Amino acid sequence: MPDEFIVLKLSSKGFFPEATIQDFPIRGKNVFLHVIRRRWVEESSKKVVVRDWKLVAKGTRITSEFAAFLKQISQQ
């Protein structure tokens, strides 16, 4: 159960569709990360609860932290 929702009464209700992330090649091989996220439902309101994963900056193929770093050094 996600730590940020520990106070809620949640139950596991399966998984979201798999997301595949392609990364830079290692030693000439393609790297694929398959992410499967669990679906949680709050029992009282029946709302689906998910974590907010902002791993990749919008419109890019790099992480949000690296995008912020590049933006910062470009403004200097």
What residues make up the domain containing 57?
A: 3-74
Instruction: Report the domain count for the chain.
Output: 1
pLDDT number for residue 56: 58
Using alpha carbons, list the distances in angstroms from residue 66 to 57, 58, 60, 69, 70.
9, 12, 10, 5, 6
Res. 57: pLDDT tops 60: no
Q: What sign does the CA torsion over 48, 54, 60, 62 have?
A: negative
Q: pLDDT tens across 1-56, in order?
A: 667 778 888 888 889 888 887 776 677 777 788 888 888 898 888 888 877 666 65
Close Cβ partners of 16 (under 8 Å, ≥ 6 residues apart):
36, 37, 38, 39, 50
Reduced to 3 DSSP states, what percent helix, strand and coil does the chain have, rounded to the nearest 5?
A: 20, 40, 40
Q: What is the pLDDT of residue 54?
A: 63
